[in-house]
Each structure stands twice: as structure tokens, then as C-alpha cells.
Structure 1
Amino acid sequence: MSSLYRDRRLYHLLIANTFSSVGTGMTLLSIPWLLIQKSGGETLFGYITLTMTIMMFILTPYTGVMIDRFSRKAILLAGEAIGFTITVAFAFMGFAGIEYQIWHLAILYASGVLYYFLFYPTLFALNQELFDRSQYKQLNGILEIQGQLATVLSGGIASILMAKVALHWILLFDVCTYLVAIYCLWKIPYHRQLRSVHHVSFWHKMTEGYRYMRAYPSLFWFLLASFMPFIGVMMTNYLHPIYISTVLKEDGSVYGTQSMMYGFGAAFAGLVIPFVIKRIGNEAAIVMNVGIYTIAITMFLAFQHTLIFYMLVVCMAFGNAGTRVARSSLMMELIPNDKIGRVDSLFRAVGLMIRVLLLSVFTGAVSLESVMIPYAILSAVLFVSLLTVLGLMKNVKKEETNMSQAM
């Protein structure tokens, strides 16, 4: 563990991730709130989110192959450069006095979502490549704490600025964070040889990860079920602004504050879950945290009070972040680095399909002013996931023995 803290690459990654997460996080918090304040904005935001989810599903197999083939550092730098270019262009428009239209907000939101879509799976593969196997648990805990502290900062700053300054000032701040992230990533020493990849069909790329995982069916379903809290978080990113506005009857400061509360809960998980994993193992830690998330999302159906809302957000954050730390450690330990991008893209693709289905239903429910129906559906989905991870835990441990022997 001490060698990890002496590694300068860790600090470059932490600084880059913190600045880019704070800047982009502020933008992605501000835009949904601006959209739902417009007439019909709730439904429009749902369709924008649905469109982005479908687009990410289409792109997922290509990003998996790209991550396994090319320099992960170069991919991260390219993503930062593209995000910087788009954001600085829209910031300039605002300072020039051009009023932002709905399609401007849609493009900004889409660019931020696609930035995260590329950034996190690439960072996941890069971390596995750069650091030693013995450091994975501690590394994932540190990154979870860092990421959620960035969420706290972005939520706190956004909750203050959204009511006091125009969007182009927030975008200018985002531009500055991109520059810091680019510099820090550039300073990381890294070299990767290009690998030849045959040109194959979309379906072949889509199933590369599946062909590897089909030898371990229990692990596949276990990991897939463990992604459900993350899918739940993606769904509540759409539902929470509407819930705050229509059910709690609160303003944008509550929206920003809930992001801060989420960050505190997830950061606490990043702090304690590595120690929990050492005592009970990755598998049991996943089961425990999926259970915490399931109980929290179910409680939304029983309580509609702002203070309780904050408490449930903290519990959801802990459950999702704890599950992610344990799952990331498990995948890093078991899956070869030259396949990690495609295997990870498999789970992301299936998760995106589930999100498309859920968003289609949720957008229709919200248009009928029934925002609580989506929470009930999420509760049912999470209970199925909890039963799945609980039932497969013993079989997964047997398959892990075979995988470890094959590596």
C-alpha cells in the first residue's frame, strides 16, 4: 500500500480526474435543471437521455475494441481535448450574448455524457495496466473517494452558482478544468504498442466479450446483477430532478445539495469498503452493497420528505459505490488486461439495453405525471438483482478458482 502512495502516476490521475469531474459534473448538473424549467422539459429531457443511451449502446462495442487496441493515455487525452473544444465554443457563445436554445443545451448535455462514457472504461483499463494486482483494492477505494469528493465539490459549487450566475460562467470554469486534466494526463509516463485487430462485423465486436465470459456463466450473471445499482443511479439522474420539482416542491438548491450528499455517501464507501473486502471478500461485499442500495431505492415509495430524501441518497450512494469498488477489484483480479476493455463493454452494452427499456417506460410515466411508478419499477429490478447475486455467490467462487489457474 505504501508503494502505491509513493507512485506519482497515482497523483497525476487523481488530479486529472478531480478537475475534469468537477467541471463536467457542474455542467451536467446545471443543464438538466435548466431543461426541466422549460415547458414540457421533463419529457424532453427523458427523450434526450433515451437518445444518448441508444447512441452509447451502438458505440459500446467499438469503444471496447478501441480501449484494448490503442494507447489508453491517448484515448483519455483525445476525450479531454474534444470536451474542451465543445465547451469553449459554447462558453464563447454565451459571452457573446447569444441566448442558449434547447438544442444548445441538448448538445452540451450530450457531449458531457459521451465524455464520461469514454473516460471511465478507459480509466478502468489504464489503472489495471499501470498498477500492480496487489494494489487494486486500495486503488479502487482511493479513486472512489476522489471521484465522490469531486461530486461533492461539483454539487456544492453548482448549487450556489446555478441561482447566481449565467450558464456561460459555469462553462468557463469547465474549460479551465479540462486544461488542468490535459496537463496532468500528459505528464503520466506511459507507452503502449499498437496491436493488430482484424476488421470484423458489428455483431462480432459486440460478442467478443461474451465469447470470453460464456465459459464462466455464474460469474457473468453475478457481475451483470451487480451493475444494477449503477443502472439505478443512471435512472435516478433522470428521475431525481423531476422528483424534487414535482413531489418535494423544492428548487435547484436541493438538486445541487443531493449531489453533495451522494458524494459524501459514496466517498465513505470508498474509504471503508476496501477494508470490508479484506474481511469478507469481493463477492460478499457485492451482495451486501446491492442489498443496501435495494433497501434505499425501495424507501422512496414510503417517504416523500426532503430530509429523508437526503438520507436515502446517502444510502444509495454507499450501496452503489461499495458495489463498484468490490466489482472493479474482482474484475481487475480475474480478467486479463488485453481483454478487459471488451469484457467491460459487454456489461456496459447489456446495461445500456436495460437503461433504454427503463427510460422508455419512465419517460411515458413522467409524461403522465406519475414519477413514483419508475421508483417502484426500480425497486422490483433491484430485488431481482439482489436475489441473483445472493444465489450465485458460491458458484462464482468455484469459477474464480478455474479462472485464476488459467491466467
Structure 2
Amino acid sequence: MKNIGAIRLLLIANFISGIAQGISMISIPAYFARTNQSNWFNIAYAVITCVSLFWSLYGGTLIDKYNRKNIFLALNIFNGLAIGSIAYLEGMNLGYTNYWAAAVFALTFWNYNLHYPCFYAFMQEITEKENYNKIASYIEVQSQLASALAGAGAALLLGGGITTSFLVLKIEPWSLAQIFALDACTYFVALFIIYIIRFVPIAERKEEVGSVGERLKVGYQHLKDRPYIFLFGVVTHAVFVVVLLHVFNLAPLYVAQHLEAPSQVFAISEVFYATGAIIAGLAIHKIFGGTTFVKAIIIMMAVTVLELIGLISSAEVWVFYAVSLLLGITNAGIRVIRVSYLFQVLPNQVMGRANSIFFLTNVMARIIFLTLFSLAFFHQSGNVIYAFLILSIFIFVCLLILMFFYTKIALNKEPNEA
């Protein structure tokens, strides 16, 4: 690969900041669940998600117009300073913890809205076409390894240690202020790594002109002219929608009310999830070698429906861990194949805007579910299992749509195999 050094540095920077971000994003929902304020957090999460509707679309125009390395530099400076300031204020007991926790969650969440579309577009820009499948796997393995370490870190820091049959490790539990301070520091480490990146663009990009609305229209028109690529990009996000709701909204409540287990169980489940995702990143193309990419995704969506049914029908911690492992495999497997396909069929010039439009549909689906799951019914007497029932039906409907348009999506080709 021509830009292998730049690719490695970008993955390392993403890995380092991803660990601390992951610890924060696990610790915040766990804090609200532990203090019996999950409903408060759900409302805050819904508001944060609504803001994403506008921010993600605007972010797509930035990604396709400006130097993507400079966008990363600006993001790391801003978030490092902002979250570092919140860590200081929370540590000095200045302000209300709920608001500071929600602010860090919002900043990290909005950072994801710009960071990941930019990350994918930048990777596509500096990678040769024949290496797209390999890069998609690298991205997923790196991302999920960071998630695994984040889950382990959160279990260690929140619970004051980890106790298993083969390991006993005790430390003083960390406060949210300390966790936020660690998060802020990693932004500056990533800033330095990204600053030293040197690369030669592989994909050609022309200078973007016109207003934000005009540039958005270009991305929209590109997908409008290719309706089955748009359909594929939307419905294959279904499992990812469910995973985001599961991790940030439902799993802490499920652990606290349905399993009646401590918050460390939720954090440890993230390790199982990330382990499954790493397995998928390393092996998914081999597992489904010779299978069309659409068929591979259909199979994994069907398995995900069964996983959710497992959560509904069991109250065992080991089943929760097993489902977390399998959910990691299916979600990451779909993501790897999905990214490989979109790298092939979307030009780098519109990659940022296209991903932002796909993300917009993701956000809209989450807003609907978040609004529904904020009802008091889902927060009483373990009724969270009915939320999983609704989400399993949602994935099943998306699965049926994908099956109905199977032939037309597959004919868009580029790759035809997973």
C-alpha cells in the first residue's frame, strides 16, 4: 500500500482516543442507571440525537470540501479542551453532575457524527481500490479492540477492580471527573499523531464550490440517481441502530432491572461484544467467502433477531454475555461488508455527504425509538424486554425489505461477494 504509514498512524490515533471515549460513553449511562435516573438520561439522549440531525448533514459538506487531516486536528483540539474543562469543573464540584455527564456524552456523540464519516472518507482517499476489503477489516478490528479495552477499563474503573476465577485486581473506583480527564488527555495524544501524518491522495477530489445547501444537493442527487445503493445503505444500518440503543440506552437498564446485576456486568458485556466484533473483523470475509454480500448480511440480520429473542427469554448473566459476543459478530460483520461495498460504489468526492445522509436515517430511527422507550412503562418491573421485542421486529422488517430487493441491489455490483 502506498500510504501504509499514514494508514497505521490514523488507526493508532483512532485506537488511543477510542479507548478513553469508550470508557466515558460506558460510564455515563452506567452512572444514570446506578442513580435511578435512566429516564432523565433517555430524554437527554433524545435531545442530543435530535441535534445530530442538523450537525451530521452539515458535517458531510465539511468532509467533502476541506482537507480531512485538518478536520481531525480541529476536532481533537476542540474536544480535548472542552472535555478537559468539564473534568476540571466536575472535579471541583462546580455545577450539577448530571449536566456535566450529559455534556460530555453530547460532545463525544457529536464528535462521532463528524469523526467516523471523515475517518471512512479519509481512509478511502488514501487507499488503493484493491485494498478496500482489507482496510474495512482493519478499521473494524482496531475499533472493536479499542471497545474491548474500553469495556475492561470501565469495569475496572467503575467497580474498583475485576474479580474472576483466575484474576483479582483491586483499585480505588474512579470518579466521573477522573474518567473525563483521561478522555481529554487522549485527544491531545491523537492530535500529535495525526499532525505527523504524511500521505499521497489516491482518490481524485475536485474543489467543492457553492453554498452548503448546494453541496448537500449534490450528495442527495447522487444517491437519488442510484436508489438501490441508497436503500442498501439505509436498511443495512438497522442492526447498528439497535446496537447503539442497546449500548447507550437499554443494556444498563436491562442489567439493573431484568438481570438485577451490578453495573460491572454491563461494562464486562462490552468486552464480550468487542471480542465478537474483532472475530468478525478478522474472519468475516473468510466465513462468507463465495457468498453474495447481500445474502451474507441477510443471514447476519436473521441471527441478530434470534439474539434479541435470547435476551427477552432469559434472565441469566451468561446468556447476556453470549448474546453480547454474538451481537458483536453480527453487527461488525455487517459493517465490514457494508463499508467494503460502499467504498466500491461511492466516489470519494461524495463519500462524506453520502455517509451523512445514511447517518441521518439512522438518527431519525433512533429518535423514534428513544421517544418510545422514554415512556415510563419501559422503566418499570423489567419491562425493558418489550423494547427488545420491538427492536427485533424492526430488524426483521428491514431484513424482509433487503430480501425483496435482493436482485436489484446485487446487480449494482461492485463487489458481488462478501
Instruction: Provide the TM-score with structure 1 as the length reference.
Output: 0.92
Q: Choose from 343, 346, 349 the match for 1:338.
A: 349
1:179-206 deviation line (CA, Å, top 9, x unaligned): 22111111211478882321254xx666
| Paired residues of 2:209 and 2:215 also in contact (CA < 8 A) | no
Structure 2 equivalent of residue 231 of structure 1: 241
Could you say if the C-alpha distance between residues 19 and 200 of structure 1 is closer, same or farther in structure 2, counting changes exceeding 3 Å? closer
- Within 5 Å, give how 1:32-71 maps onto structure 2: 32-39=29-36, 41-71=37-67
CA distance in 1, matches of 2:306, 2:400: 13
| Paired residues of 2:50 and 2:363 also in contact (CA < 8 A) | yes
Q: How many residue pairs get matched?
A: 397
Between stretches 155-164 and 391-400, larger displacement belongs to 391-400
| Paired residues of 1:73 and 1:190 also in contact (CA < 8 A) | no
1:278, distance to aligned residue in structure 2 (A): 4.4
CA distance in 1, matches of 2:380, 2:207: 51
**Aligned amino acid, residue 172 of structure 1:** A
- Within 5 Å, give how 1:318-337 maps onto structure 2: 318-337=329-348
- Within 5 Å, give how 1:67-82 maps onto structure 2: 67-82=63-78
Structure 2 equivalent of residue 159 of structure 1: 155
**Aligned amino acid, residue 224 of structure 1:** V
Could you say if the C-alpha distance between residues 156 and 215 of structure 1 is closer, same or farther in structure 2, counting changes exceeding 3 Å? same
Moved over 3 A (4+): 94-100, 190-194, 204-210
Structure 2 equivalent of residue 176 of structure 1: 185
More helix by share: 1
1:131 counterpart SS class: coil
Structure 2 equivalent of residue 134 of structure 1: 130
1:153-182 deviation line (CA, Å, top 9, x unaligned): 011011011131222222222223212211
Structure 1: stretches of 5+ with no match in the other structure: none
Q: Choose from 192, 196, 199 the match for 2:211.
A: 199
1:24-49 deviation line (CA, Å, top 9, x unaligned): 1111111111122334x111111011
1:289-340 deviation line (CA, Å, top 9, x unaligned): 2222222122222112110011011111111100000000000001111011
Structure 2 equivalent of residue 30 of structure 1: 27
1:90, distance to aligned residue in structure 2 (A): 2.0
CA distance in 2, matches of 1:200, 1:80: 23
Matched, 1:294 2:305: yes
CA distance in 1, matches of 2:174, 2:233: 43
Between stretches 189-198 and 169-178, larger displacement belongs to 189-198
Structure 2 equivalent of residue 359 of structure 1: 370
CA distance in 2, matches of 1:194, 1:73: 17
Could you say if the C-alpha distance between residues 314 and 342 of structure 1 is closer, same or farther in structure 2, counting changes exceeding 3 Å? same
**Aligned amino acid, residue 214 of structure 1:** K
| Paired residues of 2:126 and 2:200 also in contact (CA < 8 A) | no
Could you say if the C-alpha distance between residues 9 and 399 of structure 1 is closer, same or farther in structure 2, counting changes exceeding 3 Å? same
2:370 counterpart SS class: helix
Could you say if the C-alpha distance between residues 377 and 21 of structure 1 is closer, same or farther in structure 2, counting changes exceeding 3 Å? same
- Within 5 Å, give how 1:365-404 maps onto structure 2: 365-367=377-379, 370-400=383-413
2:209 counterpart SS class: coil
Structure 1 equivalent of residue 167 of structure 2: none
1:229, distance to aligned residue in structure 2 (A): 0.4
- Within 5 Å, give how 1:209-358 maps onto structure 2: 209-237=219-247, 238-276=249-287, 278-358=289-369
Between stretches 14-23 and 218-227, larger displacement belongs to 218-227
| Paired residues of 2:307 and 2:323 also in contact (CA < 8 A) | yes
Could you say if the C-alpha distance between residues 59 and 38 of structure 1 is closer, same or farther in structure 2, counting changes exceeding 3 Å? same
1:152 counterpart SS class: helix
Structure 1 equivalent of residue 168 of structure 2: none
1:250-270 deviation line (CA, Å, top 9, x unaligned): 111101101111110111000
CA distance in 1, matches of 2:215, 2:256: 42
- Identity within the alignment, %: 25
| Paired residues of 2:140 and 2:278 also in contact (CA < 8 A) | yes
Could you say if the C-alpha distance between residues 306 and 337 of structure 1 is closer, same or farther in structure 2, counting changes exceeding 3 Å? same
**Aligned amino acid, residue 350 of structure 1:** T
CA distance in 1, matches of 2:123, 2:111: 18
Structure 2: stretches of 5+ with no match in the other structure: 160-172
Q: Choose from 124, 144, 158 the match for 2:140.
A: 144
CA distance in 2, matches of 1:257, 1:268: 17
CA distance in 2, matches of 1:95, 1:355: 32
1:203-247 deviation line (CA, Å, top 9, x unaligned): x66654332122332332222111100001111121000010011
1:100, distance to aligned residue in structure 2 (A): 4.9
> What CA RMSD, in Å, does the superposition of the two structures yield over aligned residues?
2.2
